[in-house]
Amino acid sequence: MREVKLSLVFRDMWQSAGKYQPRVDQLVKVAPAIIRMGCFDRVETNGGGFEQVNLLFGENPNIAVREWTKPFHEAGIQTHMLDRALNGLRMSPCPKDLRQLFYRVKKAQGTDITRIFCGLNDPRNVIPSIKYAKDAGMIAQAALCVTFSPVHTVEYYLDLAKQFIEAGADEICLKDMAGIARPASLGKITAGIKAIKKDIIIQYHSHAGPGFNMASILEVCENGCDYVDVGMSPLSWGTGHADVIAVQEMLKDAGFKVKEINMEAYMEVRTQIQEMLDDFLGYYCPDLNRVNNSLLIKPGLPGGMMGSLMTDLEDNLAQLNKWKTKNGQPTLTTDQILVKLFDEVAYVWPRVGYPTLVTPFSQYVKNLALMNVIQMEKGKERWSMIGDNIWDMILGKAGKLAGPVAPELVELAKSQNRSFLENDPQENFPDCLDSFIEKMKANGWDRGQDDEELFEYAMHPTQYEAYKSGKAKADFEADLAKRKAEKNAPSAAAMPSVITVSLNGQTYKLDVAYGDAVPTATPETAASAAAPAGAGEDIPAPLSGKFYLTSEPGEQAKKVGDKVKKGDTLCYIEAMKVNNAISADFDGTITAILAHNGDTIDEDDVILKIARN
């Protein structure tokens, strides 16, 4: 009787449900009960998204990882994480020296296994990470990002697995991130990998949403899979994962040896998860993410992205409906824009070369589709807003696409003087640690145990600076207070929290509070209360998000008095995890910058003024 072992993907349970992860005190409290459940040989503790969202609510992720992994080590349970190969733990590619430091830090902090994936399945991105992880003493689990398309065949995946195994991968993960891989094909891939190397460990990861994954779990186990990722109530199913109880019972009935579940401990963990939801996490978990939806089969969007998608979509839909009302058009419901979005993803995906829909490329495809929908709803052309990160994907800067790019996008790239790249992606991103070491010295910041603070700063510069200044925590607490108030008094949701007024040539952005509430203010918002109106034409924000003057370290920020040409990048608006470059529509001189780094802005807010030349 062959044993199949279970892994609780605790990090991904939360990421698939909403926007944030539990605090470190909540993680440390729940760990002993997870251990007492007795059915897990592995627990996913950290990785992609985990560190970044900790910074966003003002918590040091390095402390969280060390404290969270410790009890599992003491209990003999392996910890694993998710990493994005060339991108490390972020949306954008990393320099080589940062990638190497990444694995040394995570091993020192207590993470045993790293699941290395590239959304393009480009071996040039995955194979170096296999070496870096093994050099740091970690178990290197190379992932095949599995999807369903004309180019993603069984043979395609077996060729990838062979390359990863020959490069030294200790394990292979079948990462069925959207749950749309077909069970029979997954069985063939699993059997084929075992034929390449009989004793290679295979771990299967899937999402429940589209409805295939229980059949898929059984199929891969019948063909030699060793570990299965599971979730648990109240965060199982929906855009999350199959529930541990259902998986265990199914595999036992099929004749596999599976560890028993201590149900008393299970109920304790379940209760604690609900307490975390009630505390603050539930305010960032849209109800639709708790439901299975076979509409997801067509767009193939991953469960891990759906958590944040629904939260982001609320703001985008509100802004679009605001525009529609202003222009005398009927508004859209959430269901209506979802159907439009899913249809547009299905249209866009093959035309941008079939990148597997996993972070960051799922966000890029979804964002491009959503921008297309919004622009077309406003009577504008498809492809009229493409972020720089999305262009990088299309042009091959981050790796080779599985399929060809549509001729219409090739022509659009040429018209904008953009070039397609075929070189090793790592060559496009020079080493960076020396510059961050100097910045830390200048700020008087400690590099941390095992250089973990240096790593965090270099990996997430903008979020780290906001964390260090206290702005991240203040912004999060203000947003949480707003969400709680809206839930308790729904009518207040329609009332503005910020208004912009002009007085004697000056523009002011004012926080608005109702009842006994007092609007919060940080030095940043106070400093931006008044900005010179300047001369010339208003430049409105084309979408909602956070305003930034630069996107990357070392980039020169635009300033008042700078002359710009049509097409020059003026600033960026971060929306849905992507920095969207805002370009000049005409030649001119910047006469005013009306937003500051990190400001939350609404669509149509005036962000700059430019006088035409």
Burial 395-432 (b: 16+ CB within 10 A, else e): bbbbbbbbbebbeebeebbeeeebeebeeebbeebeeb
**203-232 per-position pLDDT tens digit:** 999 999 899 999 999 999 999 999 999 999
Radius of gyration of the chain (CA): 24
For the residues of 319-343, what is the DSSP string, one character each? HHHHHHHHTT-----HHHHHHHHHH
Phi/psi region, residue 168 (left: phi>0; alpha: psi -120 to 50; beta: rest), is left
The predicted structure's pLDDT at residue 490:
54
pLDDT at 581: 83
Tens-digit pLDDT profile for residues 282-314: 999 888 777 777 777 777 766 655 655 666 677
pLDDT in tens, 41-82: 999 999 988 988 899 999 999 999 999 999 999 999 999 999
Q: What is the pLDDT of residue 554?
A: 66
> Which pLDDT belongs to residue 464?
95
Strands 530-532 and 506-511: antiparallel
pTM of the model: 0.80
Please give the pLDDT value at position 487: 81
Please list the ranges in the chain whose pLDDT falls under 70.
301-312, 490-533, 553-554, 576-577
Q: What is the pLDDT of residues 258-277, one digit of tens each?
A: 999 999 999 999 999 999 99
Which residues fall within 8 angstroms of residue 249, CB to CB, at 6 or more apart? none
Q: Which CATH class is domain 494-612?
A: mainly beta
- CATH class of the domain defined by 1-459: alpha beta
- Ordered alpha helix ranges (H), 75-153: 96-109, 123-135
Given a contact cutoff of 8 angstroms between Cβ atoms, the answer to whether 233 and 197 are in contact is no
Stated as kind and residue range, the H or E segment containing 606 is strand 606-612
Residue 260 DSSP SS3: coil
Q: What is the pLDDT of residue 387?
A: 82
Name the β-bridge partners of 508. 501, 530
Q: Map out the domains of the chain as residue ranges.
A: 1-459, 494-612
